[in-house]
């Protein structure tokens, strides 16, 4: 569905890092052009746990559907999974971050697990389980990079003597020089 870089997209979930007035970078989850939420380290840890929990629920439901279909009809298996979902103490929707909800699901055609992303009650797309796991890794790495960006900016300004504009430019374009895969 959505990549994990800031963009000019109406729908999706985007991760971005922005500096404050003092030059310290902070992480944000962007749900749309006017819907940006700051993420602390604690928020990132909780969000990662929530996404992975939603993936586990979707995968579990898919496994139950596959198993029960081997012994009965798809309709009976689906009815059983719906009853199992109703029985869960924590419910089905995961909504740790205000305005964003993850709903675990399973495709009726191929039993593949997925997550539906809903923003303020409106479905904005879906993640496969690999998309969701990739998002978690990207958010966690982006959090680590915010501290590195802050340090780089400070050194560019204090030791190299670059003005604010040029120092920010270098920090913002550093990703072009990072190695993506080893």
Query: What string of DSSP letters covers 44-62?
Result: HHHHHHHHHHHHHHHHHHH
pLDDT value at residue 95: 67
pLDDT value at residue 104: 92
Q: What is the full DSSP assignment across 78-128?
A: HHHHHHHHHH-TT-S-B--STTEEEEEEE-TTT--EEEEEEETTEEEEEEE
> Sign of torsion, CA 40 136 107 59?
negative
pLDDT tens digits for the chain (182 residues)?
A: 333 443 444 556 788 888 888 888 999 988 777 778 888 999 899 889 989 999 999 999 999 999 999 988 888 888 888 888 888 766 566 766 777 788 899 998 888 999 998 888 888 889 999 999 999 999 999 999 999 999 999 999 999 999 988 998 999 899 888 876 54
Residue 128 contacts residue 112 (beta carbons within 8 Å): yes
């Amino acid at each position: 569905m959505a990549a994990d870089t800031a963009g000019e997209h109406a729908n999706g979930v985007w991760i971005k890092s922005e500096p404050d007035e003092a030059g310290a970078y902070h992480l944000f989850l962007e749900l749309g052009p006017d819907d940006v939420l700051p993420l602390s380290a604690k928020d990132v840890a909780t969000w990662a746990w929530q996404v992975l929990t939603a993936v586990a629920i979707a995968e579990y439901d898919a496994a139950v559907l596959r198993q029960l279909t081997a012994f009965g009809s798809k309709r009976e298996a689906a009815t059983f999974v719906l009853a199992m979902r109703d029985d869960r103490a924590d419910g089905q929707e995961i909504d740790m971050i205000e305005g964003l909800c993850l709903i675990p699901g399973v495709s009726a055609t191929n039993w593949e697990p997925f997550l539906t992303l809903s923003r303020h009650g409106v479905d904005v797309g879906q993640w496969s389980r690999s998309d969701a796991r990739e998002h978690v890794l990207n958010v966690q790495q982006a959090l680590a990079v915010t501290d590195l960006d802050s340090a780089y900016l400070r050194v560019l300004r204090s030791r190299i003597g670059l003005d604010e504009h040029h120092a920010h430019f270098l920090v913002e374009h550093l990703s072009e020089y990072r190695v993506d895969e080893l």
